[in-house]
Amino acid sequence: MTGPRLDRLSLNQRTTASWTLPQAVQGCVDAGLPAIGVWREQLAEVGLEEGCRLVREAGLRVSSLCRGGFFTATDPADVRAAEARNREALEEAAALGAATLVLVPGGLPAGDRDLEGARHRVATAVERLVPYAHELGVTLGIEPMNPVYAADRGVVSTLASALDLAERFDAADVGVVVDTFHLWWEPGVAEQLLRAGPRIVSYQVCDWITPLPADTLLARGMMGDGHVDFAAFSRAVGRAGYTGDVEVEIFNADVWAQPPAEVVATLSTRYLALVEPYLVEA
Amino acid sequence: MTGPRLDRLSLNQRTTASWTLPQAVQGCVDAGLPAIGVWREQLAEVGLEEGCRLVREAGLRVSSLCRGGFFTATDPADVRAAEARNREALEEAAALGAATLVLVPGGLPAGDRDLEGARHRVATAVERLVPYAHELGVTLGIEPMNPVYAADRGVVSTLASALDLAERFDAADVGVVVDTFHLWWEPGVAEQLLRAGPRIVSYQVCDWITPLPADTLLARGMMGDGHVDFAAFSRAVGRAGYTGDVEVEIFNADVWAQPPAEVVATLSTRYLALVEPYLVEA
């Protein structure tokens, strides 16, 4: 399975949720994957220094650190706590040499129906983080999320609106995370990808499956099991000039129930069939 | 409960799914509602002529006929069948004097991942229906649907793209159906409502609730039970100049388990508290 055609494939740790960071690093090495998307929770289990040593000695790139964000609190103490967590996450991303810190915008606070207000608070929080991100040389990656999550997870609902926000800042400081699950349905998404161009800091792939699993947070499918046209989407990402890693990020109880090494084998096969051939426009 | 403040409230039959058309008509009369959104399935149970007689003698307006559409088939026989069903639905809408025939665009055919192609087929099918709609004096109402349904129910995912399609035709022939469940999350929706103006042929209200019920087709909540800001949305609909009926359309197993007359009482109360005060901009 190893070889040049896997040279942009990254395992997002959440796809193999039962693996510790050392296990996931070893899983990437065993499967010939050159990159990993690291989660803060698993990083904390081994500590930052040990985590950095593990990925460096394995020769892996860190395609992203997941996750910062959750910016929509209104209580001042919660706002300060979110900022502190994000500054810490930026320091970890810098230490890991991660291509980006993925920012999940956050949903509506309990009982709050002011979606515009929540979107405004995301913009304010990003603005406050930019100087420290710049100082550390980390690019913030705003992740627009499928509208199914607008209430409870991410109030930035389209690539177009993520770009409206990102473009207020230098591209080196603020980019966008492009995830097929979140964006496959967006009208005009190919044009928005072209608009994004160098702002694309991460390309994440997984499928939109129906019927949607009962827990919408675990609704993502293995590429090929659902409705996403990965060829068309990956071509558009390629045309936008993206040459970075392609992360497979799947939250799905059935996937998590399988042996992780088998999941990595399956996602590698699906990636080679459905994604990789289309990444570079002829 | 009767009185001028209910004079734009309409019961979409699907909210009281266990009621026959005669029962729903009587339910509207009993509760002082001046309008009803009729479903073709329940209309067929009594026949068109009897259905027309029932609503006329009750003095009700028919705020919409649900539903036409389902335009995304690729097989020529299926395409012809869909067109025939839609022509029949237009005739029923004309006989009922319905304000619009609601068009549900349809999802991706099984195994088909060409979302652009499906969207194109919707446009083609609408174009083919327009002459007959015009002849009958019925306005087609394109219903943009929440992206959670993009794969399996409705490939027109935003009010902006519904308007892109509707604006190819005269406003008397093709309008848009505005439903809070489908559109509450759309960035810039207030501006799109202004753009829509007289193209708004139906305003449907129900709430976005979390966690999303396991069957996403039954995921709609009673106004006030979820995350939608009905005041802001209704103000924007009012500013757009909409003066028609406001339909309450809720697909929800818990709502359907309640006695229908109680459901009508609840939705009337919620409408008066959350929607009606905001429909006309001061």
pLDDT tens track for B149-163: 999 999 999 999 999
Q: What is the mean pLDDT of chain A?
A: 96
Q: Which residue of B has its CA nearest to A107?
A: B227
Minimum distance, in Å, between the CA of residue B108 and any CA atom of chain A:
8
pLDDT at B214: 86
Confidence of residue B217 (pLDDT cuts 50, 70, 90): confident
Q: Compute the average pLDDT of residues B207-217.
A: 91
Using one digit for the tens of pLDDT, what is the confidence trace for B4-31? 799 999 999 999 999 999 999 999 999 9
Q: Compute the average pLDDT of residues B126-141.
A: 98
* A100 has pLDDT over 60: yes
Confidence of residue B1 (pLDDT cuts 50, 70, 90): very low
- CA-to-CA distance for A226 and A207, rounded, in angstroms? 5
Minimum distance, in Å, between the CA of residue A161 and any CA atom of chain B:
7
Chain A interface test: which of B145, B146, B210 (most A C-beta within 10 Å): B210
* A110 has pLDDT over 60: yes
Q: Compute the average pLDDT of residues A195-222.
A: 94
Q: Which residues of B touch A215 (CB under 8 A)?
A: 211
3-state secondary structure of A105: coil
Q: Which residues of B touch A113 (CB under 8 A)?
A: 227-229
Other residues' Cβ atoms within 10 Å of the Cβ of residue A278: 18
Longest dimension (CA), chain A: 52
Q: What percentage of residues in chain B have a pLDDT greater than 70?
A: 98
ipTM of the complex: 0.94
Q: Which residue of B has its CA nearest to A231?
A: B113
pLDDT at A2: 52
- CA-to-CA distance for A181 and A171, rounded, in angstroms? 24
* A1 has pLDDT over 50: no
Give the strand pairing for B9-12 and B35-39: parallel
Element (H, E) at A50: helix A48-57
Q: Which residues of A touch B147 (CB under 8 A)?
A: 146-148, 185-186
Q: Which residues of A touch B108 (CB under 8 A)?
A: 227
| Contacts for A220 with CB less than 8 Å, ≥ 6 apart | A181, A206, A207, A208, A209, A249, A250, A251, A252
- All structural domains of chain A, each given as residue ranges with its CATH number in brackets, are 4-278 (3.20.20.150)
Give A12's strand partners.
A37
pLDDT at A81: 95
Residue ranges of chain B whose CB lies within 8 Å of a chain A CB: 108, 113-116, 119, 146-148, 150-152, 157-158, 160-161, 184-187, 208, 210-212, 214-216, 226-229, 232
Q: Which residue of B has its CA nearest to A208?
A: B151
Contact B185 A150 (CB under 8 A): yes
Q: Contact B40/B32 with Cβ under 8 angstroms? A: no
Q: Compute the average pLDDT of residues A165-180.
A: 98
Q: Compute the average pLDDT of residues A83-108.
A: 97
DSSP B234-266: HHHHHHTT--S-EEE----HHHHTS-HHHHHHH
Using one digit for the tens of pLDDT, what is the confidence trace for A222-259? 999 999 999 999 999 999 999 999 999 999 999 999 99
Confidence of residue A3 (pLDDT cuts 50, 70, 90): low
Using one digit for the tens of pLDDT, what is the confidence trace for A48-80? 999 999 999 999 999 999 999 999 999 999 999
- CA-to-CA distance for A117 and A29, rounded, in angstroms? 45
Minimum distance, in Å, between the CA of residue B10 and any CA atom of chain A:
25
- CA-to-CA distance for B51 and B36, rounded, in angstroms? 12
Contact B187 A226 (CB under 8 A): no
Q: What is the mean pLDDT of chain B?
A: 96
Confidence of residue B109 (pLDDT cuts 50, 70, 90): very high
Contact A151 B226 (CB under 8 A): yes
pLDDT at B92: 98
* A15 has pLDDT over 60: yes
* A115 has pLDDT over 90: yes
Q: Residue B10 CA to chain centroid, in angstroms?
A: 11
Tokens 């519904």 correspond to B162
